[in-house]
């Protein structure tokens, strides 16, 4: 990836080295799909064999800013800079509870993930928020603390909507869920037959291109760009809504004092985007608090033991160096 950086692009000269980096923690209970989500964010396609994370794994996404999703008013004419978004994928397993705080350092943003098919993972987000708030150090913290009790923006992503019990009028059956989603996209009218292929095991197959649009990648990109803007451009886009999202009236203010937590009823206060790509909650407090839904039909196997990804050596090196990350070579400030 690094070799691609520094190319001239439409007459705009980018620096030879990335201009900076933001760090995003991705937390939530074991098995909610954090690794799978990160893979999708990076590669725009579902992962084939998600493996349980050992300790912590870090993936890096390259973003060119101003990008096509940034607002023109914020763009600096004639400049285009490269940034890295570090996605720190923390194992949700209890056995790593004690070592996790080692990774809660210099955080620019947090993505909380829960599994829509298991309500307790949503309730757990309060615990996760408290853990990050108690042990984290934050880069460019806000003066006030938000609903999660942390001083940096966060996203909440409800994953596995494909297998979650629905309040959408469908039965919760995978094919029904896919039909509902395809209808929302405008690909199908109610009553039309859902095109299925034999490529998807178990249910006779679903069209992959329809499935793969279920996470609002654009909203996530905006979140990353907002973090970059906060850190490097001093722009705090607290109240600006994402384009294409409608917002119901809401009385809650943008921030809560420290000690506040993510409440279940807040997580339930949902509405749907006008482009139908996801579910977004709490619009009045965007982008500090943005709620998305995602889900892709997966094979269900979550290997343990021998199948685990082995990143513990890297994790240890972070511990030994007293918090200075092996990713420090990516921090080009
Ligand atoms: N049906 C469905 N399964 C999913 C989805 N996302 C992930 N999975 C499956 O859920 C299991 C766990 O996914 P992971 O991405 O490893 O979960 P994790 O949160 O990283 O888990 P830990 O590493 O233990 O913290 C895997 O079998 C995935 O294939 C989804 O959107 N829908």
* Chain segment 211-247, per-residue pLDDT in tens: 344 667 888 888 999 899 899 888 765 444 333 333 3
Of all protein residues, whose CA lies closest to atom 31 belonging to ligand 1?
Answer: 295
SS3 98: coil
- Show the beta-strand stretches assigned E in the chain: 8-9, 12-13, 20-27, 56-65, 81-90, 109-115, 154-159, 270-272, 279-281, 289-293
105 lines ligand 1 (CB under 6 A): no
Q: Does the interface predicted TM-score (ipTM) exceed 0.95?
A: yes
Of all protein residues, whose CA lies closest to atom 11 belonging to ligand 1?
Answer: 31
251 CA → ligand 1 middle, Å: 35
**Ligand 1 mutation target, pool 181, 298, 309, most atoms within 8 A of CB:** 298
- In this predicted structure, what is the pLDDT of residue 167? 57
Residue 158, phi then psi, degrees to nearest 5: -90, 110
Question: The whole model's pTM is what?
Answer: 0.63
Extract the tokens encoding 211.
């499935």
26 CA → ligand 1 middle, Å: 13
Express each pLDDT in 280-320 by its tens digit. Answer: 333 233 333 445 666 555 544 443 332 222 222 222 222 22
- The answer, yes or no, to whether residue 89 has pLDDT greater than 70, is yes
Closest atom, ligand 1, to C-alpha of 32: 19
92 lines ligand 1 (CB under 6 A): yes
Decide the pairing of beta strands 289-293 and 154-159.
parallel
Mean pLDDT score of the chain, rounded to an integer? 63
- In this predicted structure, what is the pLDDT of residue 65? 81
pLDDT top residue among 85 and 298: 85
Decide the pairing of beta strands 8-9 and 12-13.
antiparallel
pLDDT top residue among 133 and 283: 133
**Residue the block writes with tokens 């980018």:** 14
33 lines ligand 1 (CB under 6 A): yes
Long-range pairs, 324-329, Cβ under 8 A, ≥24: 325/58, 325/105, 327/58, 327/60, 327/86
36 lines ligand 1 (CB under 6 A): yes
pLDDT class for 260, splitting at 50, 70, 90?
very low
302 CA → ligand 1 middle, Å: 7
DSSP annotation of 14 reads P
The predicted model gives 90-117 an average pLDDT of 92
């Amino acid at each position: 990836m690094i070799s691609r950086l520094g190319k001239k692009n439409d007459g705009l000269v980018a620096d030879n080295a990335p201009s900076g980096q933001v760090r995003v923690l991705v937390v939530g209970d074991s098995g909610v799909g954090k690794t799978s989500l990160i893979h999708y964010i990076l590669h725009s396609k579902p992962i084939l064999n998600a493996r349980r994370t050992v300790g912590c794994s870090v993936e890096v996404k390259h973003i060119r800013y101003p990008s096509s999703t940034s607002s023109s008013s914020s763009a600096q004419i004639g400049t285009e800079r490269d940034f890295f978004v570090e996605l720190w994928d923390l194992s949700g397993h209890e056995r790593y509870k004690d070592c996790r705080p080692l990774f809660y350092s210099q955080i620019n943003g947090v993505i909380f993930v829960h599994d829509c098919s298991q309500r307790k993972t949503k309730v757990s987000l309060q615990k996760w928020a408290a853990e990050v708030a108690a042990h984290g150090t934050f880069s460019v913290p806000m003066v006030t603390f938000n609903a999660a009790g942390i001083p940096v923006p966060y996203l909440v992503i409800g994953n596995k909507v494909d297998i979650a019990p629905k309040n959408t009028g469908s039965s919760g059956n995978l094919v029904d869920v896919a039909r509902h989603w395809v209808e929302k996209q405008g690909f199908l009218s109610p009553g039309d037959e859902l095109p299925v292929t034999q490529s998807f095991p178990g249910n006779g197959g679903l069209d992959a291109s329809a499935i793969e649009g279920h996470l609002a990648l654009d909203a996530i990109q905006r979140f990353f760009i907002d973090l970059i803007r906060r850190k490097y451009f001093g722009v705090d886009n607290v109240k600006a809504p994402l384009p294409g999202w409608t917002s119901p009236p809401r009385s809650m203010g943008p921030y809560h004092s420290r000690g506040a937590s993510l409440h279940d009823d807040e997580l339930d206060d949902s509405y749907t985007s006008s482009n139908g790509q996801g579910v977004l909650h709490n619009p009045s407090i965007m982008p500090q608090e943005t709620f998305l839904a995602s889900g892709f039909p997966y094979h269900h196997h979550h290997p343990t033991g021998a199948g685990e990804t082995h990143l513990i050596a890297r994790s240890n090196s972070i511990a030994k160096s007293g918090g200075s990350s092996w990713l420090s070579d990516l921090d080009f400030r």
